[in-house]
Amino acid sequence: MLALIHLEEKLPLMHLLRLCRFVCGVVVLALGISQSVALAETDKDTIIVTNSHSWKPFAFSENGIAKGLLVDYWKLFSEINNTPVEFTLSDWNDSLVAMQEGGRIVHAGLLYSKSRDKYLDYVFPLFEITTTLYVVNDSEELKTQGVVPGMVIGVVSGGFEEEYLKMRYPLVATMGFDNNAALIQAARNGKVKRMLVDTQVATYYLLQQENSLGFVPIERMYKKMLYAAVPAGNELLMREIESGIKNIPPHEIDRIKQKWLNTSRTTKIPGWLWPFIGSALLLGAASYILLLKQAVNRKTRALKALNSKLEEYAFTDSLTGLMNRRGLDRVFASKRVKIMLKRGQLGVLMLDVDHFKKINDKYGHLKGDEVLNNLSKALNNYLREAVAISRIGGEEICLLLPAEDFHDLKVIADYICSFIVPQASQDGIGLTVTVSVGALLVDKDGKETSLEALLHHSDRLMYQAKEAGRNRVMLGCLSSQQHHRYSNPVSV
Ligand SMILES: Nc1nc2c(ncn2[C@@H]2O[C@H](COP(=O)(O)OP(=O)(O)OP(=O)(O)O)[C@@H](O)[C@H]2O)c(=O)[nH]1
């Protein structure tokens, strides 16, 4: 620099310009170097992540691929912090040896112990883990025994379980296995009767087996945190891991825990099962609705039939099957009768069996019933034109018939008395049936057209027929109150 100043003093302006260009070049070069240093800082080196290759569900190797809760955790760490990681899973002891060799290496998760403290710096608590003593399920004695001196307990070599037992139960013998898979296999083969294993690991392994109850947990030994650890003294790596872990959102950690710690055979439902169950439920519901609809329709039809039957019963006389008084009311209210009334074409006939009491007394009540039945059948069979044939009293039958005038009414009444009524007689036992009839022609001039009134007038005519000697017809017209006596040739 002194030399440069010296030059500045001596050289003219041209040289001064050249000097300026040189200084600028030096500055640009310096900037370039500092930039490339900064680039090297962001382009992070790969971190080796180590753990066991048989510690399901925390870390394990399947077909050469690293899997498990801790593997997912460190993959997430890598993604979020843009730091490449590489998994080197091995037997447990080898993973600890690798940590002792140092370098840019992280132990994915392990328990704190004094012996490990010598070569590890623990960074961050990751997950809680419980460790349980398991015994074979076939011995009640083993199940109730607990930990006693001299007993042999299977453990993973170099694992915290081994260290824990030696420290807490120095008189207990341990049988070491390279990894959890080997330990559990030995337990299942009957080589060890007791084993001290992390609860989550045992649950995961045992649930994969057919006979999951081969081993039972008898005592929870401890509950501790799993830590991430770096080789002792590597401050820079420790800080990088610590700040990187803090960047991981808690819900992502929960998701990973959910994925690995809630895994069991019972929850493994194949993907196709849900749509299948959905379709089956839909189909079931649709069939149920259809069946329900059919059942409701069937029941409605049956109910309708029953209702109409009940209705018919309500309008029918139970002895003769003729319509009763209610039935007569219904027919009288019909359009057909209204038209007949309007046109003056309705005949109302009141029939009363003569000396019916005598028939009952002489032949018995049942024979009296039979007479009523036979008379009803004959009326039904031969009076097709009748609008109504109704039994309205004991032996009283009322007929509504079309009749335009007295002549019509006379012809019909004659036909009834001389042809239809005798059908109820039983000549073999000397039972002759005759009736007295009140036959009312409802003239179109007639003002009073209620059924009550018509029955009353026809009844009066019928009683006149009785008074006149029975077995005869008394004709009458409502408007004129004219009565025509008509005698039937048949006599009692
Ligand atoms: N068998 C039978 N008898 C009945 C029934 N309903 C009413 N009677 C009987 O019919 C008889 C009617 O008698 P009455 O009203 O005195 O008249 P009758 O004997 O027919 O004499 P006249 O009507 O005056 O010709 C009574 O004895 C009643 O018990 C019935 O459903 N079945």
CA of 371 to the centre of ligand 1 (A): 11
Domain that holds residue 205: 47-267
In a domain, 308, yes or no: yes
Across the range 120-142, mean pLDDT stands at 85
d(CA 331, CA 335): 9
- Predicted confidence (pLDDT) at residue 487 exceeds the cutoff of 80: no
The answer on 10 and 88 residing in a single domain is: no
CA of 492 to the centre of ligand 1 (A): 16
The answer on 160 and 67 residing in a single domain is: yes
The answer on 444 and 407 residing in a single domain is: yes
- Predicted confidence (pLDDT) at residue 283 exceeds the cutoff of 60: yes
The answer on 372 and 256 residing in a single domain is: no
- Predicted confidence (pLDDT) at residue 211 exceeds the cutoff of 90: no
In a domain, 492, yes or no: no
In a domain, 319, yes or no: no
Across the range 210-220, mean pLDDT stands at 73
- How far from the centroid of its chain's Cα atoms is residue 343's Cα? 67
Overall number of domains in the chain: 4
In a domain, 253, yes or no: yes
In a domain, 320, yes or no: no
Among the atoms of ligand 1, which is closest to the Cα of residue 353?
A: 20
Q: What are phi and psi of 71, to 5 degrees?
A: -65, -45
Determine which residue's CA is closest to atom 21 belonging to ligand 1.
Answer: 355
pLDDT for 60 equals: 93
Percent of the chain with pLDDT over 70: 84
Element (H, E) at 184: helix 180-188
Tell me which of 242, 395, 404, 448 is the catalytic residue.
395
Residue from 318, 353, 355, 357 whose mutation best tests the ligand 1 pocket (most atoms within 8 A of CB): 357
In a domain, 318, yes or no: no
Query: Between these two residues, 314 and 24, which has the higher pLDDT value?
Result: 314
Among the atoms of ligand 1, which is closest to the Cα of residue 352?
A: 23
Residue from 317, 319, 322, 356 whose mutation best tests the ligand 1 pocket (most atoms within 8 A of CB): 356
ipTM greater than 0.95 = yes
Across the range 296-317, mean pLDDT stands at 90
Among the atoms of ligand 1, which is closest to the Cα of residue 436?
A: 25
- How far from the centroid of its chain's Cα atoms is residue 153's Cα? 50
pLDDT for 179 equals: 87
Across the range 391-416, mean pLDDT stands at 93
The answer on 226 and 169 residing in a single domain is: yes
pLDDT for 269 equals: 67
How does pLDDT run across 165-190, given as a tens digit for each residue? 988 899 899 999 988 888 888 888 88
Across the range 96-110, mean pLDDT stands at 94
Burial 16-55 (b: 16+ CB within 10 A, else e): eeeeeeeeeeeeeeeeeeeeeeeeeeeeeeebbbbbbbbb
Q: Average model confidence (pLDDT) for the chain? A: 85
The SS3 assignment for 147 reads: coil
The answer on 125 and 60 residing in a single domain is: yes
For residue 191, the domain's CATH number is 3.40.190.10
pLDDT for 8 equals: 40
- Which of 37-46, 212-221, 234-243, 284-293 shows the lowest mean pLDDT across its residues? 37-46
- Predicted confidence (pLDDT) at residue 10 exceeds the cutoff of 60: no
pLDDT for 35 equals: 42
How does pLDDT run across 432-453, given as a tens digit for each residue? 999 999 999 987 665 657 999 9
Residue from 362, 370, 395 whose mutation best tests the ligand 1 pocket (most atoms within 8 A of CB): 395
The answer on 183 and 168 residing in a single domain is: yes
pLDDT for 9 equals: 42
Across the range 464-492, mean pLDDT stands at 71
The answer on 57 and 34 residing in a single domain is: no
- Is the minimum distance from the CB of 368 to ligand 1 under 6 angstroms? yes
The answer on 363 and 283 residing in a single domain is: no
Across the range 441-470, mean pLDDT stands at 87
Other Cβ atoms less than 10 A from the Cβ of 1: the count is: 5
The answer on 289 and 222 residing in a single domain is: no
d(CA 92, CA 52): 5
395 classed as catalytic: yes
In a domain, 348, yes or no: yes
Determine which residue's CA is closest to atom 9 belonging to ligand 1.
Answer: 357
The answer on 13 and 144 residing in a single domain is: no
In a domain, 405, yes or no: yes
Q: Which residues contact 201 (CB under 8 A, 6 or more apart)?
A: 55, 56, 57, 58, 180
pTM: 0.47
For residue 474, the domain's CATH number is 3.30.70.270
The answer on 282 and 171 residing in a single domain is: no
pLDDT for 438 equals: 95
